Amino acid sequence: MSAGSMNDDDGGHPRVLVANRSSIAGPLALDEEALAALARATLLAEGHGSVELSLSLVDEDEMAELHERYMQEPGPTDVLTFPLDEEDVDEGGVRMLGDVVIAPSVAARHNPLDPEAEMRLLVVHGVLHVLGYDHEQADERVEMWSRQERYSGVAIP
């Protein structure tokens, strides 16, 4: 378990703060730096430089609690996003985008043959949601899925 800042910020690069509160072990070794780098690359590809995003990796109990509290749905889900208001800017002029929360154990169950690919997909999915993308309508879904595949390298069947 770790918490820390992983950033390349020189004023124009996104900061991604990773907090790993999951107790995942075994075949899914979480590469926090790689996940943070993927989130940064996605933000840059979408034209967001001076921004900050938090990425939290949590256990199923914590995810189930968040899922119930904020979505009124029982049980854990794989990813939740909490976008912040565009007005949220820190003293250095960095815009706070929000939080992406992922349950790695749920991700591993969704894609047991390649849990690392599922984690990449969920990181990108969460970042895109924080940026305002959605997939409720068919045209929105096509756009979001296209971007997800491009940035994560993972196709959704």
Task: Lay out the sheet containing 95-102: strands in order across.
Answer: 2-7, 15-20, 51-57, 95-102, 79-83
Statement: residue 74 has pLDDT above 80: yes
- Give the domain ranges of the chain: 2-152
pTM confidence score: 0.87
Q: What pLDDT shows up at residue 28? A: 56
pLDDT digits (tens, 9 = 90+) for 21-57: 988 754 456 789 999 999 999 999 999 988 999 999 9
> 86 or 94, which is more confident?
94
CATH class of 2-152: alpha beta
Residue 138's identity, in one-letter code, is A
